[in-house]
Amino acid sequence: METTDIDAVLALEQTVYKYPWTRGILVDCMIVPGYTCWVCEDEHDVFGYAILAVGIDEAHIMNLCVSPDAQGAGWGARLLDKIIATAREKKIVDTLLLEVRKTNKPAIALYKKYGFKKIGERKAYYPSENGREDAVMFALPVS
């Protein structure tokens, strides 16, 4: 991801999520050490992106998003492949972590397909139309 992608990523974020990240959060992810950001794009559009935060012993998938028009074409899997490869390249990382909305069944199925194991739940983690929604926490050993 480059700074020139921010507007397109922000537009995608606002299309896909009812409670999108802000421009400031996206910019911070690009400039703060330890974060790696990718986009999926063609000559016209950005149609997917992912953000990985790497710390000591673990890496955290902060966001993985694919445009509704591009879903089902393997782009989420390609981004996840890149994330896992990057986490494995970081020799200090043992585990890849993420949270996902409990109702996001397609994402949960993808993570399980890749060997992520449920390690817990975070109650009322995400904002939702009905107040708050639980998150499912997953982990994948990468060392």
Catalytic residue among 99, 125, 126, 129: 99
Residue type for position 50? A
Q: Is position 111 annotated as part of the catalytic site? A: yes
Catalytic residue, candidates 19, 35, 41, 111: 111
Strand 46-54, strand 57-66: pairing: antiparallel
CA atoms within 13 A on the CB side of 103: 9
Q: In the Cβ-directed half-sphere of 60, how many Cα atoms lie within 13 Å?
A: 10
Q: Which residues contact 94 (CB under 8 A, 6 or more apart)?
A: 57, 58, 141, 142, 143
Whether residue 19 lies in the annotated active site: no
Active-site residues: which are they?
99, 111
